[in-house]
Amino acid sequence: MKQIDAPAFLPVSRQDMQSRGWEWYDFLVITGDAYVDHPSFGTAIISRLLEQEGYRVAVLAQPDWRQAESFSALGRPRLGVLLSGGNIDSMVAHYTAARRRRHDDAYSPGRRAGLRPDRAVIVYANKVREAFGAIPIVIGGLEASLRRFAHYDYWDNKVRRSILLDSQADLLVYGMGETATKEIAARLASGTPVSAIRDVRGTAFLAADSSACAYAKVECPSFELVCADKRAYAQANRIEYTEHDPIRGRAILQRHGERLLVVNPPALPLTTAELDAVAELPYAREPHPMYNAVGGVPAIEEVRFSVIHNRGCFGACNFCSLAFHQGRIISSRSHESVLREVELLVRHPGFKGYIHDVGGPTANFRRPACRKQLQAGMCTNRACLAPTPCPNLDADHRDYLELLRKIRAVPGVKKVFIRSGIRFDYLLEDKNSAFFSELVQHHVSGQLKVAPEHCVDAVLDYMGKPHISVYERFKQKYDSLNRKHDKEQYLVPYLISSHPGCTLADAVKLAEWLNRTGRQPEQVQDFYPTPGTLSTCMYYTGIDPRTMRPVYVPRDPHEKAMQRALLQWKRPEKRALVREALYAAHREDLIGYGKGCLLRPSGGSPPAETRDRRPDHGAASPPSQEKKRGSRKPAKKAGWAVAKPKKNARPGKKRR
């Protein structure tokens, strides 16, 4: 769908270049995604930013990686090549948590899978080197950012080198990259050799020795050591997180054989004026029309009528890559900038009056977690929110609420929804309930998605999430406000199975909690060990890098299948696994006819394989009131009684 008076797309072919009268260009930007010129796509931001700086930029989207000629189809750029695997890691784009190949790709035209290679950054960079020889190559985006150090790779099940070595790139830009990209481009344009660009914040490079580093520095265990010693890997991961701070962070050195990886301190967060400027670059805000014949690019549908108002996340969930990519310090756009974008959306011919989201990594963060962060950086010894909020936390939604009120008042806007994540623990810390009340009245599209993730506090501690009592307090208030405002709206809780620290007994407790609260999740996410996160470190090493203490890790595929099945115990196809899991966890008391039971008795003995291998890790002891194993009559235990859900108390379709 074409936008009225939309800016022209950047050149994607020689014909496009000729139509602009170009005989040469400065930078080639390569992406593993389809070309979508929208501020939700990193390639669009970087290419438009370079254009704004006065450079000629061409975009090569999803080139055929099997032949070098496809990389030179637009000719040799004058200054260099910048490339990214796309908005998400290419291995995550291709494989499920069970390592099964995905059948589609929302970031590709027509949702077609297979248009980018596995390990896209490495493949693209090597093909560029083959096509152009000695040319500056700068890699960036999420895939490069999370793999900047030696890292455990879930798909190879081993520790891989920094992606800089395998890609043969000259520089790596990590984080969001605008400041670093502008500086690199300016130096290349001035004639500075890429090998001399060594002091740009938010970049990494390879050197012969530590004298190449321009900043205060610390060395973490080498690639060879983290491959051989899991404790050393955990120590390296802790250093990498501790120093990932733009205010107090030091450069990190990591040896790879005879070469030294130098990761400079992170770039400073963009100011409000800088973030406004990036958000308001002249994007076409649509996929390139060359994809129209095959159905466009599905990924645009979630963001076409959404607004990103912030960056960064101090929630710092241990399984999430945001803290290691964007950082924990919040940047936010001005009201005026956001309103200009909303007015632009209202003029879009496909706009129906609904702003789908005003959010970001976490929707309700618009200010630093506390006042001292901008001077002293983030604390090294604690998180802002979990397991309990820091006493210095500054929880205030007034600015966000005022912004939402202004958007609701824009002519042509019927509804403004919030669909990106809400940190409910942060919301509850705000003593003023005005935002919570207006959230329920105006900004929920039938369902509000939140992420308690689990119900066992010990597991939540490993996740870096608040304890379940906080979620339950939030739910009580949410339900109360819905009754007060005569709304029929629901909470959709996100849950993770098989996270490090979660035993089979813990998974049973989560199933009990879901049963007690009348929930049966439609979708459950198995823990996915993505590169660089603290939880992935736990998965690989069996060590919590924050404490260096052992942590149980469910790695066996069958146990993981049982944990997942327990969360969807009502499904007929899951019952055999659920029954096996209950016997393995010594929780036969949950097989019976009581309200607290998960399964009805089916007769017979426990599964043979269960008798042979009952895991001892954290298995719950049978309740003292429990009947003898094999009894059909359920045990009575305090707190198991479940109020029958209301007849219609099930999430319906999203309402507008």
Pick the CATH number of 14-205 from 1.10.10.10, 3.40.50.300, 3.40.50.280, 3.20.20.60: 3.40.50.280
Mean pLDDT of 167-173: 97
Share of the chain above pLDDT 90, in %: 84
360 conformational bin, left if phi > 0, alpha if psi -120 to 50, beta if neither: left
Grouping H, G, I as helix, E, B as strand and the rest as coil, residue 446 is coil
* Predicted local distance difference test score (pLDDT) of residue 609: 52
**Does position 620 have pLDDT exceeding 70, yes or no?**
no
How far apart (Å, rounded) are the C-alpha atoms in residues 442 and 485? Answer: 10
How far apart (Å, rounded) are the C-alpha atoms in residues 348 and 101? Answer: 37
**Does position 388 have pLDDT exceeding 60, yes or no?**
yes
**Does position 293 have pLDDT exceeding 80, yes or no?**
yes
How far apart (Å, rounded) are the C-alpha atoms in residues 460 and 465? Answer: 5
Find the range with the poorest average confidence among 262-271, 324-333, 477-486, 521-530: 521-530
Mean pLDDT of 590-618: 68
Nearest to 52 by CA among 260, 330, 273, 283: 283
How far apart (Å, rounded) are the C-alpha atoms in residues 216 and 624? Answer: 59
What's the angle, vertex CA 466, arms to CA 460 and CA 469, rounded to 5? Answer: 100
Other beta carbons less than 10 A from residue 593's beta carbon: 10
* Predicted local distance difference test score (pLDDT) of residue 316: 84
Q: Which two tokens stand for residue 227?
A: 């491959």
* Predicted local distance difference test score (pLDDT) of residue 654: 37
Mean pLDDT of 184-201: 98
Please report, to the nearest 10 degrees, the dihedral formed by the alpha carbons of residues 243, 249, 251, 255 taken in order: -10
Give the number of residues written for the chain.
Answer: 656
* Predicted local distance difference test score (pLDDT) of residue 606: 56
**Does position 595 have pLDDT exceeding 80, yes or no?**
yes
Predicted confidence band of residue 372 (pLDDT cuts 50, 70, 90): confident
Query: Is the C-alpha dihedral spanning 58, 63, 65, 66 positive or negative?
Result: negative
Find the range with the poorest average confidence among 293-307, 375-389, 393-407: 375-389
Integer CA distances (angstroms), 256 to 163, 206, 260, 265, in order: 11, 9, 6, 19
**Does position 20 have pLDDT exceeding 70, yes or no?**
yes
Q: b or e along 104-126 (b: 16 or more beta carbons within 10 Å of the residue's beta carbon)?
A: ebbbbbbbeeebbbebbbbbbbb
Integer CA distances (angstroms), 418 to 38, 114, 359, 362, 447, in order: 19, 32, 7, 10, 10
Site of tokens 């823990």: 527
**Does position 625 have pLDDT exceeding 70, yes or no?**
no
User: DSSP code of 104?
Assistant: B
* Predicted local distance difference test score (pLDDT) of residue 5: 59
Average pLDDT, the chain: 90
Whether the ω angle into residue 387 lies within 30 degrees of 0, i.e. cis, is: yes
How far apart (Å, rounded) are the C-alpha atoms in residues 535 and 528? Answer: 9
pLDDT for 321-366, tens place per residue?
A: 888 899 899 999 999 999 999 999 999 999 999 999 999 999 999 9
Mean pLDDT of 89-102: 94
Q: Which residues make Cβ contacts (< 8 Å) with residue 24, sequence separation at least 6?
A: 56, 75, 78
pTM (predicted TM-score): 0.89
Predicted confidence band of residue 522 (pLDDT cuts 50, 70, 90): confident
Site of tokens 């993730």: 453
* Predicted local distance difference test score (pLDDT) of residue 611: 46
pLDDT for 112-154, tens place per residue?
A: 999 999 999 999 999 999 999 999 999 999 999 999 999 999 9
Other beta carbons less than 10 A from residue 475's beta carbon: 16
- Please provide the distance, in angstroms rounded to a whole number, between the alpha carbons at the two ends of the chain: 22
How far apart (Å, rounded) are the C-alpha atoms in residues 328 and 374? Answer: 11
Find the range with the poorest average confidence among 195-199, 325-329, 520-524: 520-524
* Predicted local distance difference test score (pLDDT) of residue 605: 52
Nearest to 285 by CA among 94, 50, 3: 3
DSSP string, 600-653: ----SPPPHHHHH----TTPPPPPTTPPPTT-SSPPP-TT---PPPPTT-S---
Q: Phi and psi for 206 in degrees, rounded to 5?
A: -105, 140
Find the range with the poorest average confidence among 58-62, 248-252, 315-319: 315-319
Mean pLDDT of 32-57: 97
**Does position 635 have pLDDT exceeding 80, yes or no?**
no
Which value, in Å, is the radius of gyration of the alpha carbons in the chain? 26
**Does position 653 have pLDDT exceeding 80, yes or no?**
no
How far apart (Å, rounded) are the C-alpha atoms in residues 42 and 141? Answer: 7
Domains of the chain: which residue ranges?
Answer: 14-205, 272-513+527-557
Q: Which residues pair with 253 in a beta bridge?
A: 219, 262
What's the angle, vertex CA 167, arms to CA 74 and CA 30, rounded to 5? Answer: 30
Other beta carbons less than 10 A from residue 60's beta carbon: 23
Mean pLDDT of 307-317: 93
Grouping H, G, I as helix, E, B as strand and the rest as coil, residue 510 is helix
Q: Which residues make Cβ contacts (< 8 Å) with residue 328, sequence separation at least 6?
A: 245, 312, 313, 314, 316, 369, 378, 384
How far apart (Å, rounded) are the C-alpha atoms in residues 428 and 245? Answer: 27
Determine contact, residues 86/35, Cβ cutoff 8 Å: no
* Predicted local distance difference test score (pLDDT) of residue 3: 42
Site of tokens 């297979």: 114
